[in-house]
Amino acid sequence: MKFGDSRKYDRLLEAYEVGDIDRRGLMRIIGGMAAAIGVVGLPLAGYSRSALAAGVDKVRFDGWGGIVSEAFHNNAFPPFTAKTGIKVVEGEFGDTTQFLSLVKASEPGDYNVFLVNGVYDYYRFVKLGYGSTINEANIPNLANVLTRTLDTFRSASDGKLSAVPFDYGVTGLAYNRKYISDEEVKAKGVHLLFDEKYKGRMIAYDHFETRAWMAALHLGQDPQNASDMKAVWEACRKQRDLVVKYWSSGQELIDLLAKEEAVVSDGWSGRIAKLQQDGHDIGFDSTVGFAWLEGLFVLNGSPMPECEELINFCIEPKVAIAIAEGQNYPSSLDPTKVPMTDKIKKLPAYDDTGKFEGYVWEKAQYWFAHQDAFKKEWDRISKGA
């Protein structure tokens, strides 16, 4: 970077500090200057961090809404603000692809921390250039996080962390015991989702990965290395005739099952736990699905020290356990280091060993490599083609 360019950045920073321009304006100008003079890499990152560190008094957090956002709001954000003076601006999204579109259309720094769902989503945000590099020294509570979960994220981002593992869950088979017995589920397994007996009483998640996964299992194929994708999509097409509605958010899943508008669906372990706690006789079979890992992802261009402070606060054992109980997903903290409550131990996806033996994890590279073709095909099928 030339000396003159450095002075321009200094003057911009001074203007920001006295209030002549706001944070968004600052980042927009920095981005424009970078494009004009070809600044890349560490020099720009250094000036961005300096700029963002000047008077940062808020951090934006985006989560899944419903009981998940409620759990964070009720147990983390107000005490974090009381402790640090940093306000957490809360946002919600129902679908990660939708949120990615918002990030793409935004300025760097508009969005800061979000709850990334699964290794595939973690990987694609990193591959698209939205990953940050978290300074792990600023998050001492990482010492309590399960090694397996940390290694999983690091392996998808060249050894660094763009997110800190926060919780985990399982996508499995949810069914109303008033109409479907445990014995029937045990006998049919994933084939229940393709059983004409439940035509018009079935719902399913509107997402290419879950649809391809369940169809592949139904056909006896490896969901993450299918030998005949044409047959997989044809199975999805036949299943479409049985489905009364494709749901797109966890709250929608809860509402449809609670009102008995459907009696069977694939579903997320935490949302099914919520139904069970509310007195609905909903069973859950995790053997037909896959496990996923959620993390607190820091987007590139965010005020890193403040985001790291927020993450460290959220994985403080008392806070993390309270959020886990609120959202019904087990904490990523190591249960051999941090004692878990009875409520967490009873959650559908909980693993008291922290070793995740028998859990089937997403292969991020596989889904990323095929995402465009798979999304295109699923969009066609979901629309009736």
* 89 phi and psi angles, rounded to 5 deg: -85, 120
Q: Look at residue 103 and give its three-state secondary structure.
A: helix
Q: Please report the sign of the dihedral spanned by the C-alpha atoms of residue 344, residue 320, residue 75, residue 349.
A: negative
Nearest to 329 by CA among 206, 173, 204, 166: 166
C-alpha angle 234/235/241, rounded to 5°?
95
* Cβ atoms within 10 Å, residue 303: 24
Structural domains in the chain, sorted by start: 3-53 (no CATH), 58-168+293-358 (3.40.190.10), 169-289+365-382 (3.40.190.10)
What's 142's DSSP letter?
G
Three-state SS sequence of 10-42: HHHHHHHHCCCCCHHHHHHHHHHHHHHHCCCCH
Three-state DSSP at 287 gives strand
Confidence (pTM): 0.81
Instruction: State which amino acid sits at residue 109.
Output: G
Kindly give the confidence (pLDDT) of every residue in the chain, 385 residues in length, as a single tens digit, with 9 standing for 90 and above: 433 444 444 454 554 444 444 444 444 444 444 444 344 433 444 444 444 444 679 999 999 988 899 999 999 999 999 999 999 999 999 889 899 999 999 999 999 999 999 999 999 999 999 999 999 999 999 999 999 999 999 999 999 999 999 999 999 999 999 999 999 999 999 999 999 999 999 999 999 999 999 999 999 999 999 999 999 999 999 999 999 999 999 999 999 999 999 999 999 999 999 999 999 999 999 988 899 999 999 999 999 999 999 999 999 999 999 999 999 999 999 999 999 999 999 998 999 999 999 899 999 999 999 999 999 999 999 999 8
Helix axes 208-219, 229-240, angle to 10 degrees: 100
How many other CB atoms are there within 10 angstroms of residue 380's CB atom?
12
Among 68, 64, 86, smallest CA distance to 77 is for: 86
Say which residues have a Cβ less than 8 Å from residue 370's Cβ, sequence separation at least 6: none
Strand order in the sheet with 243-247: 87-92, 58-63, 113-117, 282-298, 163-176, 264-268, 202-205, 243-247
DSSP 291: E
